[in-house]
Structures are given as structure tokens and as C-alpha cells.
């Protein structure tokens, strides 16, 4: 059988990793694909840069969109990133030309997934994106194929390695957020502008994709509630440990009687939960299905090797003629559950003046909102000085908790904005 000819747009970390994998593991890939998989054309911004791999004999296109019309390219691999610009133009042009597309671009899929899926289906070609979520973890195949016969109730995970690394180091070394972030930037784990990661946007893109797969609804990035980790302090991490929890940035999508809830935010999870023990740059995806039960997948969520591995897996499927519709099921609109309706327990930390009556005032406000306490933590006494007070609530509605916090923050003895972290079971 003739070789499957690949055009690669983007020769950054992942692009170079893919070319290295296809060269080094050529025999393995050919055996599993049923034919050779070879790169015939590439496109990148700087033609003369030394990328540490030979590019001799490959067609070079300064304009990546030209790959869509290149007769020596059977499949286009988009590894440039970004939800607009050349990446979107290339994917749209390739699908319209009847060429399969493999992409690692979570932003593109989260923002334009609905339109791209329709375009792929209209032209009868695959749009594959295993590498867009959780790097080398087969999360897409797990949900779309492995759990194809199941009704999925919930999917959650650690979806950003940068945030997980920062929170892990803060806990292990008892250091503050800003200091650990600076070190992560020096080590290359965080970008010079880390906002995309630490503000939760990257995780939200991935969660929007997972929610579409899990619940058969169109991708809806705007429906995802997003909070990052900037406000997490070393004090909160230490107090969480005292209470038997660890703090993780989680993406959570769940089916509820009122519709689909999708949210990304810091969570306290029990220290003995499997997801609590996923540390460093590792990712994890947890799926809860009616017949298969609870599945936990973990591994490296980024980097040249894991992401290139996921891209190559999609190429092997295409070479074999394995063609799964983009979302794996007919999409149907589903109501979005607003964050105000989230129901669960909460960790609330206050910095208050240590004087009589403060706790009584706080608990009275919680009582007025029908919020009951599971526990209260205050270490030592410092009359007249600022002290942390931690309250852990029983399950309640987010709207009630927000109303209570607004009143608590206005108390004269409360010295700074209260810190709220939601408690999840992982």
C-alpha cells in the first residue's frame, strides 16, 4: 500500500517532536498503520532556523495554507496554535479541499469546534484532535470510543501542567505563588506571559472539548466558568493540609437535572483521592460512566514526546481508514447550569481582628443564608491582631455562599477579601 503523506504546519516543540517520532519509530508506525507514514511538506515561520532535525527533501511552504492545495500531501497536521489566523485558515482550507486534518489546537476547537465539525462532516473527512487535550493521555479516545456504550455523568481533571506544577511546589516547599511562578518561568514550565495558563483559560479550552465529547453537545467555551490560581496563597495550601485536603486546579463538567455544568477553578480535594496525588507537570482525567464506573487516566499533559505521540496515534487511525465522527455522537443543545447553582461544600478563610463577637457575627450571616458549618479552625489567640479563621461548610448553593461573603466582607473586623475555595471529591 502507498505511504500516507503528511504536511506539517508548525515546527516548534511538538512539530519537531512529531518529525523525530515518525523517523525514529518509522517501522513501528508503519506496522501499526498498515503502510508507511512519511512527512513530505512543512511550513514554519523561520525557514533558516536550525531545529536539530534534517528537513532535506521536504517541500517548504512559507504560507501554511498552501499545504491544503499541495498534491504531495494527503493529511494536514496543524501544530501552530491559536484560535484564529493561519491555524484556522489552514484547517478550514484543508477540510474544504477534502483532506483529513490532525490538530493539537485546543483553542481552535474550543472556539470554532462546532463549525469545523460541520465542515469536516460535509466533506466526509476526519478532523482528529487527540493531542488537543491532556497530551499523551488518550482522553479523547477514552471518552469517544472506550466509553461509547456508556452514559457519562461527569468528567473532571487536572488539565494544565503549569498550574499543577506551581501548586505542587507551593505545597512541598511552602513557598508563595509569585516566587514559584518566577522559578517555573525560568525552568520553561511557564511562559513569559503566563496568563493563559494560570488564569485557567487553557484548562477551560480543554474542558469545553471534553464536555462536548462526554455529553454530545456542541462545544461551548463561553459557557465555561473560569477562575485561575493567582489568589491561592501558601497559607491556604498549609491550612488545606491541616484539614486533610490538597488544592488543585480542576476542570469539571457534569450532567445535572437542570443541564450541563462546566467550570474551571481551584478545588480542595481529599488528600487520599487519586487526583490529589497527581503532582508536578502531570495531568489527569477522571470519567464517571453508568456501566464502566469511574476511570482515572494520568500522564504528561504536554511536551514534545507525549503530544507527538497523540498526533501520531491519530495519523495511524487515518492510515487504517478508522473514521470516527468529530464528536462521536449527534450533537444536541443542552441547557447550561450557571455557576450560581453549584451545590457543594466550601472552604472559607477570613483574616479578622481577634476580638470578642467576630465569630458570632460571621456565623449569624451564614445562618441567615441557611449555610451550616462542618468545622471551624482558629489556631491560637492574638487579641487585637489579625488572625486567620477557617470555616468549612456543609453543602449549600453557590448563590447563598456569595451573598454571605458579600456581607461578611463588609464586617469591620474582616480585614481583607475572604478567600473561597470549593470542596470537591476529585
**Grid-cell match 527533501, residue found:** 57
Cα angle, residue 14 at apex, residues 13 and 18 outer, rounded to 5°: 125
Q: Which three cell numbers stand for residue 228?
A: 485561575
Which distant-in-sequence residues (6+ apart) come within 8 Å of 280 by Cβ? 161, 164, 165, 168
Determine the Cα–Cα distance for residues 154 and 151; give it in Å rounded to an integer: 9
Cβ–Cβ < 8 Å for 171, 246: yes
222 is catalytic: no
173-181's contacts with Cβ under 8 Å and 24+ in sequence apart are 174/234, 174/237, 174/238, 175/234, 176/233, 176/234, 177/229, 177/230, 177/232, 177/233, 177/234
Cβ–Cβ < 8 Å for 153, 254: yes
Determine the Cα–Cα distance for residues 304 and 312; give it in Å rounded to an integer: 12
Q: How many CB atoms lie within 10 A of CB 370?
A: 10
Q: Is 411 helix (H, G, I), strand (E, B) or coil?
A: coil
Cα angle, residue 179 at apex, residues 174 and 185 outer, rounded to 5°: 125
Q: Give the residue ranges of DSSP H helices in 251-381.
A: 304-320, 358-368
Determine the Cα–Cα distance for residues 49 and 32; give it in Å rounded to an integer: 33
Determine the Cα–Cα distance for residues 28 and 299; give it in Å rounded to an integer: 22
Which distant-in-sequence residues (6+ apart) come within 8 Å of 257 by Cβ? none
**Looking at 104-244, which runs of residues are DSSP E strands?**
127-128, 152-158, 225-226
Q: Which three cell numbers stand for residue 86?
A: 493561519
DSSP 58: -
Among the listed residues 186, 206, 222, 382, the single catalytic one is: 206
Q: Is 378 helix (H, G, I), strand (E, B) or coil?
A: coil
* Catalytic center residues: 206
Amino acid at each position: 500500500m502507498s505511504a500516507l503523506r503528511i504536511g506539517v504546519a508548525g515546527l516548534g516543540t511538538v512539530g519537531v517532536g512529531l518529525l523525530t517520532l515518525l523517523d525514529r519509530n518509522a517501522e513501528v508506525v508503519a506496522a501499526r498503520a498498515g503502510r508507511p507514514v512519511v512527512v513530505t511538506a512543512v511550513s514554519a515561520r523561520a525557514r533558516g532556523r536550525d531545529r536539530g532535525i534534517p528537513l532535506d527533501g521536504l517541500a517548504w511552504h512559507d504560507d501554511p495554507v498552501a499545504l491544503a492545495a499541495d498534491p504531495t500531501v494527503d493529511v494536514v497536521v496543524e501544530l501552530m496554535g491559536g484560535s484564529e489566523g493561519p491555524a484556522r485558515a489552514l484547517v478550514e482550507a484543508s477540510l474544504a479541499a477534502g483532506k483529513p486534518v490532525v490538530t493539537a489546537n485546543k483553542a481552535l476547537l474550543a472556539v470554532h469546534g462546532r463549525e469545523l465539525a460541520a465542515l469536516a462532516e460535509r466533506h466526509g473527512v476526519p478532523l482528529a484532535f487527540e493531542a488537543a487535550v491532556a497530551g499523551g493521555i488518550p482522553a479523547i479516545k477514552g471518552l469517544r470510543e472506550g466509553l461509547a456504550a456508556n452514559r457519562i455523568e461527569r468528567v473532571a481533571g487536572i488539565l494544565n501542567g503549569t498550574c499543577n506544577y506551581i501548586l505542587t511546589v507551593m505545597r512541598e516547599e511552602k513557598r508563595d505563588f509569585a516566587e514559584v511562578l518566577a522559578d517555573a518561568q525560568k525552568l520553561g514550565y511557564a511562559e513569559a506571559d503566563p496568563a493563559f495558563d494560570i488564569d485557567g483559560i487553557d484548562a477551560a479550552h480543554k474542558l469545553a472539548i471534553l464536555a462536548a465529547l462526554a455529553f454530545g453537545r456542541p462545544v461551548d467555551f463561553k459557557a465555561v466558568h473560569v477562575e485561575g490560581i493567582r489568589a491561592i496563597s501558601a497559607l491556604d495550601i498549609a491550612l488545606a493540609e491541616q484539614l486533610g485536603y490538597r488544592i488543585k486546579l480542576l476542570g469539571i463538567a457534569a450532567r445535572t437535572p437542570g443541564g450541563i455544568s462546566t467550570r474551571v477553578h481551584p478545588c480542595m480535594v481529599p488528600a487520599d483521592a487519586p487526583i490529589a496525588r497527581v503532582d508536578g507537570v502531570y495531568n489527569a482525567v477522571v470519567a464517571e460512566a453508568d456501566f464502566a464506573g469511574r476511570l482515572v487516566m494520568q500522564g504528561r499533559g504536554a511536551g514534545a514526546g507525549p503530544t507527538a505521540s497523540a498526533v501520531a496515534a491519530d495519523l495511524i487511525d487515518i492510515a487504517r481508514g478508522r473514521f470516527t465522527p468529530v464528536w462521536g455522537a449527534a450533537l444536541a443543545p443542552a441547557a447550561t447550569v450557571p455557576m450560581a447553582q453549584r451545590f457543594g461544600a466550601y472552604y472559607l478563610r477570613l483574616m479578622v481582628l481577634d476580638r470578642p463577637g467576630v465569630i458570632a457575627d460571621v456565623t449569624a450571616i451564614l445562618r441567615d443564608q441557611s449555610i451550616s458549618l462542618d468545622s471551624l479552625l482558629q489556631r491560637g489567640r492574638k487579641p487585637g491582631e489579625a488572625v486567620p479563621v477557617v470555616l468549612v461548610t456543609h453543602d449549600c448553593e453557590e448563590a447563598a455562599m456569595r451573598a454571605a461573603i458579600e456581607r461578611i466582607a463588609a464586617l469591620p473586623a474582616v480585614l481583607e477579601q475572604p478567600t473561597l475555595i470549593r470542596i470537591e471529591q476529585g
